[in-house]
Chain A
Amino acid sequence: MQGAVIQRILGQLLMLFSLTLLPPLLVGEYFAESDSLYTFGLAFLSAFITGVVLWLPHRGQRADLRLRDGFLVVVLFWTVLGSFGALPLYFSTAIEISLVDALFESLSGLTTTGATVLTGLDHLPASLLYYRQQLQWLGGMGIIVLAVAILPMLGIGGMQLYRAETPGPVKDNKLTPRITETAKALWYIYLFLTVVCAYAYWIAGMSFFDAVCHSFSTIAIGGFSTHDANMGYFNSRAIEWIAILFMLISGANFGLHFVAWRSRKFSAYWNDTEFRVYAMLLIGVSLLAALILQNAQVFSDGFTLWTKAVFQVVSIGTTTGFTSADFSSWPAALPMLLILLSFVGGCAGSTGGGMKVIRVLLLFKQGMRELRRLVHPNGQFAVKIGKKPVEGRVMEAVWGFLFAYLAIFLGMMLFLVATGLDHVSAYSAVAATLNNLGPGLGEVSQNYASLSEVNKLMLCLGMLLGRLEIFTLLVIFTPFFWRD
């Protein structure tokens, strides 16, 4: 472990992060809020000074990061930034929340989960509202690099597959030169999508402030809103369809966007097996949801019904977590089905959460292979994605991932139930945080304020585990990681 280098990087990250506390401060000044200077100024100084203190003694360190350092940097990135990100929320005089609540809100933002402990959003100062959205946006930015470049390099849960599949991103084992190039290109796409999305929202009738804020949480697959009623506040089908489109785009692999953008070919999308399955799955579940809603006559108007159904399926399926209607009270198994859909989540290399479409697809194909083997004992079957066979090593990693994911899901759910939460709330709260989804069912369908502190901390861990694809975080807790 190269402590000095990691400390230097962490210091730089913190200094960089402290700068992102300035835009909310300016927003506060613009809206002439009384305490934004104090809130964000203090948070800025704390983060900046800590950063300098960490960075200064080791500023000359120039050694390359090794594989193990990579794990640590990634984990520290989310935990440390998550903690410092909680400061403005804690300092703010406009909301009186505990440190745990502030941490929960900040992590929920950075991991683009979108679960909130705040209520009365409509009356909060604009600077704070903007800050929450910005946290998600920054989180999304980090995730893209994490998901497209770093996780494949670390080989987390079979994601090395994805490294071999996509022609664009990094293939070597160093965290430096090429990664910056890849990241830059991806961030341009990210920025471009955000601008287009904000503009579309604005045209469709949002205020400029709302349009920017919501574009942040849409492209980041976050789900934070500036209103308690979330997307339902606007009551506009046009806005909902815009949101659907951009959620779909952001739930797709950014590496794929990169390829399509560079080759100027839309066919890149349809030729990608994962994207095809992702699209078909969402279309299929949307149809089912619309059918169930139609049958139960929840909405009188056909267009509204379709919009609500597709919006909610895409929002939950991509793990965004926007709501335009109270889906937790929808009929039949629909709420349960939607939460289950979030386990599939977005595509690998997207800002979405969940287990990722590609892994679920691989597991499904592996299951089919086992069935075929029963019928043809001498058969030789390959699991293929597109036309390419998948290595056995990747399949093993995906199986391991599935086990870890489910084990952690069940363990956390049991913990929540043990602390007195009802089953549906516990199930959906863990699913919603582990999948980086946001809203759950039952007690947590609107916000997480009513949960106990210990539960919130547990769910914080869930968000981190989900975002870091479990293994990245788990490996830190193994003794052999620290042994040399």
Chain B
Amino acid sequence: MKIIILGAGQVGGSLALSLASESNDITLVDQNASLLREIQDRVDLQTVQGHASHPSVLERAGANDASMIVALTNSDETNIVACQVAYTLFHTPTKIARVRASDYLNYPDLFVQEAMPVDLLISPELLVSEYVKNLIDHPGALQVLNFADGKVQLVAARVNRDSRFTGKTLADLAREYAAYDFSIVAIYRKREAVAFTDETRVETGDELFFVTAAQQANKVTSALQGVDKPNRRILIAGGGNIGLQLAQILEQNYRVKLIERDPDRARYLSEILDKTIVLRGDAADEDILLEENIENVDIFCALTNDDEANILSAMLAKRLGARKTMSLINRPSYVELVESGMIDIAISPQQVTIGALLAHIRRGDIVAVHSLRKGAAEAIEAVAHGDKKTSKVVGRRIEEIKLPKGTHIGAIVREGTMMISHPDILIQADDHVIMFLSEKDRIHEVERLFQVSATFI
């Protein structure tokens, strides 16, 4: 597939990296030549230097025969215009734009073929704040990802010392917790995926990925973790776009405090937010944290755009007694560095954003994709089409499907109801299949599995 990516920033760069490794033809457009050269040195792709929305630049990037354009520059307007140009001059089939300003997002009628032809709007801030909200709604979870419009969730959680799962085989667990209706799709031990069967035993320190109905997710997590109190008090450090949006989503159900350094921004936030207590000051200031009873805070979220400040303030909060700390970390190399130490959950905005983009880039009818483990693994929701003759999955029982190595089916969603994967379930047309791939390189095998063969018309 030929894809043009506009903007070689953090998200654009990581997306290019992720897609190029899947043998797509990537063209990266940016105004900064040295940035492009640096990326080209590492990744096999074409680069074009120029203004992303100029028709001549898009033409040079090969917009004439591109099947997709992804506009990720810093400017909403440039992104929208680029999509407009691509649609009008080059008839590009799929146009994705990153739009940050919530004002645009509030008027979805704007983005129609006749006005602003954008097929998919991506707002990284919104995606990240929803991602964080999911984590806060599910105490104990390291990751919570939605499938089938939020009916089904994939949850990652660590087996700790109090866990009732320790030492049991998966078959034991399935028997004991039959009522909980979940299925384990991946086990990571010492950061490596473990090939598992029903007889594999769960050990302390394992990271389990399981699929379950959304309303069951908390029950399963707390069984896995021993009892974990529900979260009540949230302290957000950094009142940027993400901090603001997160506070807005959370303030109805949680007691939210937000620390912002800039006095003008703090005043603005206090006017926008309803229940959140806005504090003016430095999140790495011990006095403020103590004054605001950091020891009673359930979750401390460091969400400024400065990685180092986030990490340090989260570490400080943890030392002062915050129950759990999360930190926004842009640099991939930092993520692993901190997760073993003082910070409980590192949130990588690129990973979150890329997942949303990947769903549109994958072949076959793939509804949702979430990129996991620094992009090494992927969780996808695919729709099965065709019949027994034309499809390799429809009309077959789950145990009959030849899944690639490291791939597990977690659940099937049929007409809105979720069924936990079981070897005997017969896949029907239009079933949504939720899978976990611990080796992303095998994505093409899965794509092929779900593509309908040529005889099907």
Q: Does B279 contact A (CB under 8 A)?
A: yes
**A377-401 interface code vs B (CB 8 A; 1 in, 0 out):** 1111110100101000000000000
**B267-309 interface code vs A (CB 8 A; 1 in, 0 out):** 1011100100111110000001001100000000000000000
Q: How far is the CB of B257 from chain A (nearest CB, A)?
A: 8
Say which residue of A372, A377, A380 sits within 8 Å of B291 (CB atoms). A377
CA distance A387 to B273 in the complex (A): 9
CA distance A384 to B266 in the complex (A): 15
Q: What count of chain B residues pass the 8 Å CB interface test?
A: 16
- B-facing residues in A416-436 (Cβ within 8 Å): none
**B66-99 interface code vs A (CB 8 A; 1 in, 0 out):** 0000000000000000000000000000000000
Q: Does A262 contact B (CB under 8 A)?
A: no
B274 near A387 (CB under 8 angstroms)? yes
Q: Which residues of A contact B280 (CB under 8 A)?
A: 378-380
Say which residue of B260, B269, B277 sits within 8 Å of A376 (CB atoms). B277
Q: How far is the CB of B24 from chain A (nearest CB, A)?
A: 46
Q: Which residues of A contact B292 (CB under 8 A)?
A: 376, 378
CA distance A384 to B267 in the complex (A): 12
**A352-381 interface code vs B (CB 8 A; 1 in, 0 out):** 000000000000000000001000111111
CA distance A377 to B280 in the complex (A): 9
Q: Which residues of A contact B260 (CB under 8 A)?
A: 380
A382 near B281 (CB under 8 angstroms)? no
Q: How far is the CB of B123 from chain A (nearest CB, A)?
A: 22
Q: Give the interface size class of chain A.
A: 10 to 19
Say which residue of A376, A380, A387 sits within 8 Å of B267 (CB atoms). A380
Which residue on A lies nearest to B259, using beta carbons?
A378
A382 near B267 (CB under 8 angstroms)? yes
Q: Is the interface of A mostly helix, strand, loop or mixed?
A: loop
Q: Which residues of A contact B269 (CB under 8 A)?
A: 380
Q: Which residues of A contact B281 (CB under 8 A)?
A: 378
Q: Which residues of B contact A377 (CB under 8 A)?
A: 291
Which residue on A lies nearest to B258, using beta carbons?
A380
Which residue on B lies nearest to A372, using beta carbons?
B277
B270 near A381 (CB under 8 angstroms)? yes
Say which residue of B263, B270, B288 sits within 8 Å of A382 (CB atoms). B270
Q: How far is the CB of A395 from chain B (nearest CB, A)?
A: 13
B267 near A379 (CB under 8 angstroms)? no
Q: How far is the CB of A32 from chain B (nearest CB, A)?
A: 66
A378 near B274 (CB under 8 angstroms)? no
Q: How far is the CB of A136 from chain B (nearest CB, A)?
A: 41
CA distance A384 to B279 in the complex (A): 17
B271 near A376 (CB under 8 angstroms)? no
CA distance A379 to B279 in the complex (A): 4
CA distance A378 to B260 in the complex (A): 10
Q: Which residues of B contact A384 (CB under 8 A)?
A: 271, 274
CA distance A186 to B441 in the complex (A): 72
Q: Which residues of B contact A379 (CB under 8 A)?
A: 277-280
CA distance A378 to B282 in the complex (A): 10
Q: Which residue, of A376, A380, A382, A384, has the highest number of chain B Cβ atoms within 10 A?
A: A380
Which residue on A lies nearest to B266, using beta carbons?
A380
Which residue on A lies nearest to B273, using beta carbons?
A382
A380 near B278 (CB under 8 angstroms)? yes
Q: Which residues of A contact B288 (CB under 8 A)?
A: 378
Which residue on B lies nearest to A381, using beta carbons?
B270
A381 near B291 (CB under 8 angstroms)? no
B271 near A378 (CB under 8 angstroms)? no
- B-facing residues in A293-311 (Cβ within 8 Å): none
CA distance A449 to B423 in the complex (A): 97
B270 near A378 (CB under 8 angstroms)? no
CA distance A377 to B426 in the complex (A): 63
B274 near A381 (CB under 8 angstroms)? no
CA distance A372 to B269 in the complex (A): 16
Q: Which residues of A contact B291 (CB under 8 A)?
A: 376-378
CA distance A380 to B257 in the complex (A): 11
Q: How far is the CB of B269 from chain A (nearest CB, A)?
A: 7
Which residue on B lies nearest to A387, using beta carbons?
B274
Q: Which residues of A contact B278 (CB under 8 A)?
A: 379-381
CA distance A380 to B280 in the complex (A): 6
Q: How far is the CB of B247 from chain A (nearest CB, A)?
A: 13
Q: How far is the CB of A384 from chain B (nearest CB, A)?
A: 7
CA distance A377 to B287 in the complex (A): 11
Which residue on B lies nearest to A389, using beta carbons?
B271
CA distance A359 to B277 in the complex (A): 24
Q: How far is the CB of A393 from chain B (nearest CB, A)?
A: 15
Q: Which residues of B contact A376 (CB under 8 A)?
A: 277, 279, 291-292
**A269-291 interface code vs B (CB 8 A; 1 in, 0 out):** 00000000000000000000000
Q: Which residue, of B260, B271, B280, has the highest number of chain A Cβ atoms within 10 A?
A: B271
CA distance A379 to B281 in the complex (A): 9
Q: Which residues of B contact A382 (CB under 8 A)?
A: 267, 270-271
- B-facing residues in A120-167 (Cβ within 8 Å): none
CA distance A376 to B256 in the complex (A): 13
Q: Which residues of A contact B266 (CB under 8 A)?
A: 380
Q: How far is the CB of A202 from chain B (nearest CB, A)?
A: 48
Q: Which residues of B contact A381 (CB under 8 A)?
A: 270, 277-278
Q: Which residues of A contact B263 (CB under 8 A)?
A: 380
Q: Which residues of B contact A378 (CB under 8 A)?
A: 279-281, 288, 291-292
Q: How far is the CB of A2 from chain B (nearest CB, A)?
A: 40
Q: How far is the CB of A186 from chain B (nearest CB, A)?
A: 31
CA distance A379 to B277 in the complex (A): 7
Q: Which residue, of B263, B270, B281, has the highest number of chain A Cβ atoms within 10 A?
A: B270
Q: How far is the CB of A325 from chain B (nearest CB, A)?
A: 43
CA distance A378 to B261 in the complex (A): 11
Which residue on A lies nearest to B292, using beta carbons?
A376
Q: Which residue, of A377, A378, A382, A387, has the highest number of chain B Cβ atoms within 10 A?
A: A378
CA distance A372 to B274 in the complex (A): 14
CA distance A81 to B279 in the complex (A): 54
CA distance A387 to B274 in the complex (A): 8
Q: How far is the CB of A271 from chain B (nearest CB, A)?
A: 15
Which residue on B lies nearest to A390, using beta carbons?
B271
Q: Which residue, of A372, A379, A381, has the highest number of chain B Cβ atoms within 10 A?
A: A379
Which residue on A lies nearest to B282, using beta carbons?
A378
Q: How far is the CB of B255 from chain A (nearest CB, A)?
A: 12
Q: Which residues of B contact A387 (CB under 8 A)?
A: 274
CA distance A2 to B271 in the complex (A): 42
Q: Which residues of A contact B267 (CB under 8 A)?
A: 380, 382
CA distance A426 to B267 in the complex (A): 45
Q: Which residues of A contact B277 (CB under 8 A)?
A: 372, 376, 379, 381
CA distance A22 to B111 in the complex (A): 65
Q: How far is the CB of A376 from chain B (nearest CB, A)?
A: 6
B residues with a Cβ closer than 8 A to A are 260, 263, 266-267, 269-271, 274, 277-281, 288, 291-292
User: Besides the contacts A379-B280, A380-B269, A384-B271, what 6 more A-B pairs have beta carbons closer than 8 Å?
Assistant: A376-B277, A378-B292, A379-B279, A380-B260, A380-B266, A382-B270
A residues with a Cβ closer than 8 A to B are 372, 376-382, 384, 387, 389
A-B CB contact pairs (8 Å), 25 listed: A372-B277, A376-B279, A376-B291, A376-B292, A378-B281, A378-B288, A378-B291, A378-B292, A379-B277, A379-B278, A379-B280, A380-B263, A380-B266, A380-B267, A380-B269, A380-B270, A380-B279, A381-B270, A381-B278, A382-B267, A382-B270, A384-B271, A384-B274, A389-B270, A389-B271
Across the A-B interface, the 10 shortest Cβ-Cβ residue pairs:
A389-B271, A380-B266, A380-B270, A382-B270, A382-B271, A380-B278, A378-B279, A378-B281, A380-B280, A378-B280
